[in-house]
Structure formats: C-alpha cells, structure tokens
C-alpha cells in the first residue's frame, strides 16, 4: 500500500537517501528543504527513479517558526492524511548560532521545528501513523534557561546534544499524551558519525556508510518492529531499542522541558 511520507531535510544526506529508497518502493514522498535549487534537484533525482512512487517538494527555513507554521499549513492544504513524518532535518556547527527570534539555532531547528511541525500536522496523522524523530547518541542535560533563549551555550556540540535530548524527551511525552489516539512517536539515533554533511563539517571526517542510517529510517517508517514502539528510543549504534539519556526517563524533567518548548512555540507563533 502506498504511504504518504514527509521527510524534512531531504535534499542531501540521510534524508535524501531515505527519500530515494521510499520513492523506489512506490511511496508518495514529500521532500523538504530550505535551498530552492537543491530542493528542485532532489525532486528531479527522485522523479528519475523507477518504482512508481510520487514526489512533491516544500520549501521552508526551519530556523524560522513562521516558516515551519507555513509548511504545516501548506501540507495540510494539499493532504487530508499523512502516514509518516520523519523529522530528519538537523544542524550542528554554524557561524551564526542565534536565530532572529533569539534562540540557539540548534534548539530552533533540531527541537522547536519538529515539535511545531508535528503539532500542526497532528490532524493528518491517524492512530497507526508514525512520527520518527531523529535523535542522536549525543544527548546532554537540557539547560532550561538556554532552551528558553535566556542564556547561551558556548560549546556547539553541547548545544546540539541538548537539542537532541530535548526532542527525545518531547517525543516520549507526546507518546504518553496521545496514547491510543496515535500517532506512534519514536526517537531514533540513526547511527553515530555517518557520512553526512553535518559530520564532515562538524568533525572533519568522511564518516561511516550512510546506508546504516537510511536502513533504520525506512524500517522505522514502515516495518512491524516499530508498530508498538511509541515512546521508545532506538539506538542504531546498538541495533536495538535501548534506554535514552536518564533525563528522558524522568517524568518531571520531561515535563519541565516540554513546558518550555510549548512556551517558546506560543511566543514565536
């Protein structure tokens, strides 16, 4: 059965390769990117593949919550149902670390954007739909003041690690809140130091086979092993579901992080 699948950050890296794999299996893939030239190139790449899939493309800068809200509106206008949302877009090292709204760009792109986009698309996501949130092996305790934009994080990798833990905590909380209503929420570490642009720019290394990450995203989107995994964390470095950072298992800490995220989203939208 053809599924409609949105993948953010799908103009290169794991996102593009996962989009190609899913399109080739006959699914309707919604591409997203912030560079119009790269987005059109990705669309043309998919259109040239065999497999019978369909492709659409959507442009948005996920560091701007107004763009994220507009993206959600555009998809909701064109679709009444979404089967899978893969929140893949992420950012690590940048020159300008603070957004126009005054937040660390890692929290904006890696945490706030997927949370807001998912919220806006919930009416399209039924009980068996899936939200796959890309986490990381790098997870650090979240500084609530930094999350709220009131203090700065000096170390870029630490900011990234905090943003990924915050998303993992939000994913677990949403799974608890939605329960039988769905969709399924799962956080996935696709694999450490894969051959992505982020790894090349952030660590100056080629990285491991990107197919490792592509495989787990496709499985998370489609396979039965994730059908009952709502609220869980899959660590692809270990090849199995595993405990995330201990803070993600602390209900009070999760509540505090989610509260700040929701406050920021209200403030910025």
- pLDDT 10s digits, 42-73: 999 999 998 878 999 999 999 999 999 999 99
Structure token digits, residue 71:
């993206």
209 pLDDT band, cuts 50/70/90, is confident
- Across the range 114-119, mean pLDDT stands at 98
* pLDDT of 76: 98
- What does the pLDDT read at residue 206? 67
In this prediction the pTM is 0.95
215-253 per-position pLDDT tens digit: 999 999 999 999 999 999 999 999 999 999 999 999 999
What local confidence, expressed as pLDDT, does residue 168 receive?
Answer: 98
Cα–Cα distance measured from residue 224 to residue 139, given in angstroms and rounded to the nearest whole number:
27
pLDDT bracket for residue 180 (50, 70, 90): confident
Residue-wise pLDDT tens digits, 28-39: 999 999 999 999
Cβ atoms of 217 and 251 within 8 Å: the answer is: no
Does the structure show a pLDDT above 70 at 203? no
Q: Provide mean pLDDT across the span 20-27.
A: 96
Joined tokens for residue 11:
């103009």
Residue 9 has pLDDT above 80, yes or no: yes
pLDDT category of residue 202 using cuts at 50, 70 and 90:
low
């Amino acid at each position: 059965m053809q599924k409609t699948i949105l993948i953010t950050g799908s103009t290169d890296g794991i996102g593009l390769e996962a989009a190609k794999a899913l399109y080739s299996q006959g699914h309707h893939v919604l591409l997203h990117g912030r560079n119009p030239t790269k987005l059109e190139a990705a669309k043309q790449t998919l259109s040239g593949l065999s497999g019978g899939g369909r492709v659409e493309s959507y442009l948005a800068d996920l560091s701007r919550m107004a763009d994220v809200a507009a993206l959600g509106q555009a998809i909701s206008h064109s679709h009444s149902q979404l089967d899978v949302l893969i929140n893949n877009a992420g950012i690590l090292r940048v020159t300008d670390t603070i957004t126009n709204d005054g937040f660390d760009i890692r929290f904006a792109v890696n945490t706030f954007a997927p949370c807001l986009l998912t919220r806006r698309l919930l009416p399209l996501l039924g009980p068996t739909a899936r939200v796959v949130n890309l986490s990381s092996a790098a997870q650090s305790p979240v500084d609530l003041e930094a999350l709220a934009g009131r203090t700065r994080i000096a170390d870029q990798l630490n900011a990234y690690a905090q943003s990924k833990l915050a998303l993992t905590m939000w994913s677990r909380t949403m799974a608890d809140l939605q329960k039988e209503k769905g969709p399924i929420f799962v956080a996935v570490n696709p694999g450490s130091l894969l051959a992505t642009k982020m790894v090349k720019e952030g660590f100056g290394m080629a990285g491991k086979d990107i197919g490792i990450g592509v495989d787990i995203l496709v499985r998370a989107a489609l396979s039965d092993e994730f059908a009952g995994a709502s609220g869980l964390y899959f660590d692809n470095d270990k090849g199995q579901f595993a405990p995330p950072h201990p803070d993600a298992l602390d209900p009070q800490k999760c509540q505090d992080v989610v509260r700040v995220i929701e406050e920021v989203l209200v403030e910025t939208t």
